A and B are shown apart, each in its own frame.
Chain A
Amino acid sequence: MAAAVQIETVNITINDIEIAVPKGELIVEAVKRLGLEIPIFCYHPRMKPVGMCRMCIVEVGFKQPDGTVRKMPKPQAACTLPASEGMAVYTDTEMVHRDRKGVLEFLLINHPLDCPICDRGGECPLQNNTLFYGPSTSRYVELKRHAPKAFPLSKYVTLDLERCIQCGRCVRFTEEISGDSELAFRFRGANMQPSTFELRDFESKFSGNVIEICPVGALTSAKYRFRARPWDLETKPAVCTVCSNGCNVWFDYRVGKMVRINGRTNEGVNEEWTCDKGKFGHEFYNSEDRLLTPLVREGDQLVPTDWARVYSDVIRAFANGGDKVAALGGAANSNEDVFMLNRLMTGIFGTKNLDHRFERNLVTGVGEKLGVSEVQSTIASLEDAPSMLVFGTSLADELPIVFLRVRKAWFKNGAKVVVAHHAPTDADSFAEVILRYKEGTEAAVASGLLSLLVSAGKAQVPAATADAIKPFTPEHVEQLSGVPAEKLRVAAELLEGAPIITTRSMYNQASGVDALEALAGLAMVTNGKFNCYSLQANAEGATLLGTKEGMHTHQILNAAAAGELKALWLVNVDPFALYPDRELVQQALENVEFLAVQGTVASEAMHYASVVLPQCAPAEMDGTYTNVERRVQRMRPVLKPKGSTKPGWNIFSEIAVRLRPATPFFNPGEVMAEIAKENPAFEGATYDKLPAEGFVIR
């Protein structure tokens, strides 16, 4: 724990109530300490204040030595005013009320007031502020400003300029948070409008956020437009399962159908942001391709059947299978699912042939080999790192929310970021040093960095390692990789204590394993933190709860292709999509005697299935997921399971009970209690203990 930092406070009065607040705290925030609220539009606590909308205007004075207050001649914007000693703020005077009314009158004169057909209606800050602070009638009799009503900025975002109140939140988001600077204002005065450059497509990986921070219905979701009224929606907290970041989201649904996803605040994970992949990536809930009933093969067709039939087929194929049966997948399933799958395979079927990894150069994890953790930094901790190394990943694509945190570390705290990748990435825009290497020379670059630090005498390494990295002088690395020796030196200088961020996609690179070993070594030498982040929703959970003893994915597929496997279970995974060798997958699926395909939506692998087990989608069941930083988060059921789908843990549990009668698990909470019993790391994740913001396994 860091030592408590002494915060300098100043004494101010708010509506004549004395209060001490941190020096420089913005008045708009300071008033919240008294339970007061100042209406705002342009102000957003995560972005720099600009004072554009003037909605937050307050009266301000300063205490004079004689105890009287001398008011400033003009009212002041509370969102930009830092608290200073002796300041007297008034939020409730006649002048303040008149000015708020004035600003709202101005904002409304050109607003179309088409609230009845506006997506924002019912959850609109402009409506809300007007209700509480605005004029009840309009004095405006002139012609309103007109503009195109539904301009498509991108396939996700539609702009209605007439509703825009020019607060600049969207523009500032792209400048300050996402960093793509895709939006800017064009024209001036009353004609000022947010726009992309030359009206080109709004190409951002985070564009969905501007819809949420827009205080009116100017930026709307192309997917959600006109689909519901907010008050008809039901909203429940959920966790995004599209990637491994585990973003906290609000899940909005109506009549049992997913309607939209909004960001939910979790300071440890996504703050309040979402990425477009996540925000717009939950369409599968309503997909036509959802698997709704168990299917069984009859000739060349899969025909609907019932669970009893599927269970008996599976049991016939897998029971007592030993080494002749295997399962693949699970990284997209909950911890409870993965645990029960593992128990079924190892405990009942007697096989350890179980793997969720599909990387090309799949080996024992580097971390395991070197005896270090592959996840040493929490997402939030990256924010305070003075420097960082982002290696071999297009972070904004692979882990968008981690990318935002890395960018924030640079934007807010001036962190120096070293970016090493074979292709341009979004992180280049703020990188202190870019190491652009030829694809395939990852190991040389990583070894070069390690070699530089070792030869500089920063640390001792085992003799074998020292010998291995010795040839990788900066000049030699330059020859191999094309990274200028000088840049490598500059980068190495920055790495003391730096978190190293790379992802499991490194295992797909030819020299990825060697590179990862060098990076893990580098972290040890620099007292940094090594992170090889995983990419699927619960890959970390699957790693922690799975077995590492049986065949791995390559061996399983090869065995299946060679006809050596009696039965194979694909658990919520399509190997065609993930495995680099398509032909092998096809041979494996063709030649295995019995193929069980379990999933939520139809997949290519299903064409080879003997039986299909329909599984609920994540938000349709209770369960926990372990995200990229090993934070266990619970997703409670939001929707009812579709058709006759079942949660994964339930499927595995029901099969197990048929083979070995025992008291079954009735709910995933019981499964988690069992997990915690067997795996103490999960002790803080039992349902009675698990905090709302999740529990980070360390």
Chain B
Amino acid sequence: MAERKLLFEHTHDPAFRTLDGYKATGGYQALEKAIKMDRQAVIDEVKASGLRGRGGAGFPTWIKWNGIPKDKKTTHYVLCNADEGEPGTFKDKQLMETCPFLLVEGMTIAGHATNADQGFIYIRGEFIDAARALRSAIDEAYAAGLLGKNIMGTGWNFDLDIHLGAGSYECGEESALMSSLMGERGMPRLKFPHAPLPTVAGLWERPTLINNVETYCCAPFIIKNGGEWYASLGASTKNSRGTKIFSVSGHVNKPGNFEIEFGTPLKELLEMAGGVKGGKLKACVPGGSSVPIITAEDVDRAIIGYEEMSEVKSMVGSGGCMFLNEHTCIVTFIWRTALFYANESCGKCTPCREGTRWMLQILDRIRRGNGQKGDIELLKDICSQIDGRSFCGLGDAAAWPVAAALRVFPHEFEYFIENGKSMVESEPTLAMAP
């Protein structure tokens, strides 16, 4: 299989970033169609499409859309999580920079389906270009009556605004994102069953739909071509439908974003990216830094799909796919990952706050040649004390890569602890600062 460009079809066309150019390729036909449809019919199309959340968790999108109360009693919000911060993932950045109208139209469709009044796009603070592209797209849409009052003469009002984050990975966690958007410290909030779902009480305790950028961008295609058509993409997999954008990085010749159909073998993704650079393939982190690392042998047999990836004990995640060649020291790689999570823990709960720092300290000691007997068992214990015990998913995300590396490459850790140096001869070529 090759690339299957759906969202990215016009990614290299500068005109696509203007309303005229967007419309010329069929843009806004979906909204026009959706807005004449019954709200429930829109949601049913999404259901038929089998679309699942592209942010990493793969939650069925239609359940969220369907969860917004049908009898509107108060303001409804539509919220886009554009705080793409997972190391190795950069698909939303390109989507927003080059296809801003896809997101605006997708959110407007979602707004119609959920009878919303206001949309927010919470953009990672560093994504200035994306924010500018979206700002200009939103302005154009307002001018054309595609946002604001009386959209397309239907009498429905929908406002859309952007909000720039202030540089915290944790704010990509949906409840922390809402805290941050509401002006609070970016810490996660209680979730179901401890608190109502965001679809019942989200932003300012009001019904809120929150999805990832890529998820919203799929909506126009689903409406335009029908849910069934969309579901025909990726039909070879158990339960993953449509296309998925993978951000390929690491030791590959041609890093970048690649849109593929679910069911594509992982090794084909590697081929699309020009194959391994600088040696043989050693390992792959297929879905962003938090998903478990897999070996080259697993890359050979892995099929991209939410269920299929669990057969190699990993995940699709957010699609941040990092390939590592044989000169990569896994210990150093995991140390760098642990450094990221220790820096980004918000501090709210004990396991994540203390556990991430402790793991980092141990890995740092090993990396400096001062590893001790028992460090591996201790690291495993710490991982199990964080995984499933932290307040939000960040703790899990910090524990998984360490636990997986210890499971998949135990000998590298053992060697480093015993000999005080890496078993990999040459220095890793990945940027390892600081």
Among A77, A107, A190, max chain B CB count under 10 A is at A190
Q: Assess the B389–A54 pair: CB atoms within 8 A.
A: yes
Residues of chain B within 8 A (CB-CB) of A411 are none
**CB-CB nearest in chain A for B388:** A74
> In the complex, how many angstroms separate the beta carbon of A527 from the nearest chain B beta carbon?
32
**CB-CB nearest in chain A for B185:** A185
Q: Which of B170, B190, B350 contacts A103 (CB 8 A)?
A: B350
Residues of chain A within 8 A (CB-CB) of B372 are 141
Residues of chain A within 8 A (CB-CB) of B349 are 51-54
Q: Which stretch from A80-88, A216-224, A269-277, A651-659 is at the chain B interface?
A: A80-88
> In the complex, how many angstroms separate the beta carbon of B131 from the nearest chain A beta carbon?
23
Q: Assess the B388–A139 pair: CB atoms within 8 A.
A: no
Tell me whether A667 is interfacial, beta carbon within 8 Å: no
Tell me whether A345 is interfacial, beta carbon within 8 Å: no
Q: Assess the B346–A188 pair: CB atoms within 8 A.
A: yes
Tell me whether A603 is interfacial, beta carbon within 8 Å: no
Tell me whether A189 is interfacial, beta carbon within 8 Å: yes
Beyond A143-B361, A188-B345, A188-B347, whether A99 also contacts B193 by CB under 8 A is no
Beyond A106-B351, A185-B185, whether A190 also contacts B389 by CB under 8 A is no
Q: Assess the B194–A80 pair: CB atoms within 8 A.
A: yes
Q: Assess the B362–A190 pair: CB atoms within 8 A.
A: no
> In the complex, how many angstroms separate the beta carbon of A185 from the nearest chain B beta carbon?
6
Tell me whether B343 is interfacial, beta carbon within 8 Å: yes
Residues of chain B within 8 A (CB-CB) of A454 are none
> In the complex, how many angstroms separate the beta carbon of A116 from the nearest chain B beta carbon?
23
Q: Assess the B193–A75 pair: CB atoms within 8 A.
A: no
Residues of chain A within 8 A (CB-CB) of B365 are 142
Q: Assess the A77–B185 pair: CB atoms within 8 A.
A: no
> In the complex, how many angstroms separate the beta carbon of B172 from the nearest chain A beta carbon?
14
Q: Assess the A80–B190 pair: CB atoms within 8 A.
A: yes
Could you mark each residue 75-106 of chain A with 1 if its beta carbon is under 8 Å from any beta carbon of chain B, else 0? 11100111010000000000000010011011
**CB-CB nearest in chain B for A73:** B388
Interface size class of A (residues with CB under 8 A): 35 or more
The number of A-B residue pairs with CB atoms under 8 Å apart is: 107
Residues of chain A within 8 A (CB-CB) of B168 are 188
> In the complex, how many angstroms separate the beta carbon of A69 from the nearest chain B beta carbon?
15
Beyond A54-B389, A143-B361, whether A110 also contacts B350 by CB under 8 A is no
Alpha-carbon separation in the docked complex, A109 to B248 (Å): 38
Tell me whether A673 is interfacial, beta carbon within 8 Å: no
**CB-CB nearest in chain B for A167:** B350
B residues 172-221 touching A (CB-CB < 8 Å): 185, 190, 193-195
Q: Assess the A51–B385 pair: CB atoms within 8 A.
A: no
> In the complex, how many angstroms separate the beta carbon of A219 from the nearest chain B beta carbon?
18
> In the complex, how many angstroms separate the beta carbon of A523 from the nearest chain B beta carbon?
35
B residues 378-400 touching A (CB-CB < 8 Å): 378, 381, 384-385, 388-391
> In the complex, how many angstroms separate the beta carbon of A162 from the nearest chain B beta carbon?
13
Could you mark each residue 99-126 of chain A with 1 if its beta carbon is under 8 Å from any beta carbon of chain B, else 0? 1001101110110000000000000000
Q: Assess the B194–A189 pair: CB atoms within 8 A.
A: no
Residues of chain B within 8 A (CB-CB) of A84 are 193
> In the complex, how many angstroms separate the beta carbon of B334 from the nearest chain A beta carbon?
17
Residues of chain A within 8 A (CB-CB) of B391 are 51-52, 54, 77
**CB-CB nearest in chain B for A41:** B350
Q: Assess the A189–B350 pair: CB atoms within 8 A.
A: no
Residues of chain A within 8 A (CB-CB) of B388 are 73-75
Alpha-carbon separation in the docked complex, A1 to B372 (Å): 69
**CB-CB nearest in chain A for B395:** A54
Q: Which stretch from B272-280, B283-291, B352-360 is at the chain A interface?
A: B352-360
Beyond A82-B193, A141-B372, A166-B353, whether A52 also contacts B348 by CB under 8 A is yes
Q: Assess the A189–B357 pair: CB atoms within 8 A.
A: yes
> In the complex, how many angstroms separate the beta carbon of B246 from the nearest chain A beta carbon?
28
Q: Assess the B358–A140 pair: CB atoms within 8 A.
A: yes
Residues of chain A within 8 A (CB-CB) of B342 are 189-190
Tell me whether A165 is interfacial, beta carbon within 8 Å: yes
Residues of chain B within 8 A (CB-CB) of A143 are 361
Q: Assess the A192–B354 pair: CB atoms within 8 A.
A: no
Residues of chain A within 8 A (CB-CB) of B384 are 102
Q: Assess the B378–A57 pair: CB atoms within 8 A.
A: no
Residues of chain B within 8 A (CB-CB) of A145 are 357
Beyond A99-B385, A185-B347, A191-B347, whether A109 also contacts B354 by CB under 8 A is yes
Residues of chain B within 8 A (CB-CB) of A184 are 185
Alpha-carbon separation in the docked complex, A166 to B346 (Å): 11
Beyond A82-B193, A166-B353, A189-B357, whether A57 also contacts B389 by CB under 8 A is yes
Tell me whether B344 is interfacial, beta carbon within 8 Å: yes
Q: Assess the B193–A190 pair: CB atoms within 8 A.
A: no
Interface size on B, residues (CB 8 A): 35
Could you mark each residue 378-409 of chain A with 1 if its beta carbon is under 8 Å from any beta carbon of chain B, else 0? 00000000000000000000000000000000
Q: Assess the A189–B356 pair: CB atoms within 8 A.
A: yes
Residues of chain A within 8 A (CB-CB) of B389 are 54, 57, 74-75, 99, 102-103
Q: Which of A54, A82, A99, A165 contacts B194 (CB 8 A)?
A: A82
Could you mark each residue 35-52 of chain B with 1 if its beta carbon is under 8 Å from any beta carbon of chain A, else 0? 000000000000000000
Residues of chain B within 8 A (CB-CB) of A185 are 185, 347
**CB-CB nearest in chain A for B394:** A189
> In the complex, how many angstroms separate the beta carbon of B72 from the nearest chain A beta carbon?
23
Q: Assess the A139–B378 pair: CB atoms within 8 A.
A: yes
Residues of chain B within 8 A (CB-CB) of A81 are 193-194
Alpha-carbon separation in the docked complex, A609 to B388 (Å): 74
> In the complex, how many angstroms separate the beta carbon of A478 from the nearest chain B beta carbon?
35
Beyond A81-B194, A106-B355, whether A190 also contacts B385 by CB under 8 A is no
Tell me whether A187 is interfacial, beta carbon within 8 Å: yes
Alpha-carbon separation in the docked complex, A679 to B71 (Å): 62
Q: Assess the B345–A54 pair: CB atoms within 8 A.
A: no
Residues of chain A within 8 A (CB-CB) of B353 are 106, 166, 189-190, 192
Q: Assess the B344–A189 pair: CB atoms within 8 A.
A: yes
**CB-CB nearest in chain A for B188:** A51
Residues of chain B within 8 A (CB-CB) of A166 are 347, 350, 353
A residues 564-578 touching B (CB-CB < 8 Å): none
> In the complex, how many angstroms separate the beta carbon of B84 from the nearest chain A beta carbon?
19
Residues of chain B within 8 A (CB-CB) of A139 are 378, 381
**CB-CB nearest in chain A for B186:** A188
> In the complex, how many angstroms separate the beta carbon of B225 from the nearest chain A beta carbon?
37
Alpha-carbon separation in the docked complex, A109 to B357 (Å): 10
**CB-CB nearest in chain A for B372:** A141
Q: Which of A76, A80, A102, A142 contacts B385 (CB 8 A)?
A: A102
Q: Which of A52, A55, A76, A107 contacts B354 (CB 8 A)?
A: A107
Alpha-carbon separation in the docked complex, A201 to B65 (Å): 48
Residues of chain B within 8 A (CB-CB) of A188 are 168, 170, 344-347
Q: Assess the A105–B385 pair: CB atoms within 8 A.
A: yes
Residues of chain A within 8 A (CB-CB) of B170 are 188
Q: Assess the A110–B190 pair: CB atoms within 8 A.
A: no
Q: Assess the A54–B193 pair: CB atoms within 8 A.
A: no
Residues of chain B within 8 A (CB-CB) of A53 are 349-350
Residues of chain B within 8 A (CB-CB) of A74 are 388-389
Residues of chain B within 8 A (CB-CB) of A109 are 354, 358
> In the complex, how many angstroms separate the beta carbon of B368 from the nearest chain A beta carbon?
12
Beyond A73-B388, A75-B388, A81-B194, whether A102 also contacts B346 by CB under 8 A is no
**CB-CB nearest in chain B for A185:** B185
Could you mark each residue 33-73 of chain A with 1 if its beta carbon is under 8 Å from any beta carbon of chain B, else 0? 00000000000000001111111010000000000000001
Q: Assess the A190–B194 pair: CB atoms within 8 A.
A: no
Alpha-carbon separation in the docked complex, A49 to B195 (Å): 11
Beyond A54-B350, A190-B353, whether A142 also contacts B361 by CB under 8 A is yes
Interface residues of B (CB under 8 A from A): 168, 170, 185, 190, 193-195, 342-351, 353-358, 361-362, 365, 372, 378, 381, 384-385, 388-391
Pairs across A and B, CB under 8 Å, 6 listed: A77-B391, A106-B350, A110-B354, A140-B358, A188-B168, A189-B346
Question: Known pairs A77-B194, A99-B385. 8 more at Cβ < 8 A?
Answer: A51-B194, A54-B349, A54-B350, A81-B194, A145-B357, A189-B343, A189-B344, A189-B353
Which 9 pairs between the two chains have the least Cβ-Cβ distance? A192-B347, A102-B385, A106-B354, A189-B345, A142-B361, A190-B357, A74-B388, A80-B194, A188-B347
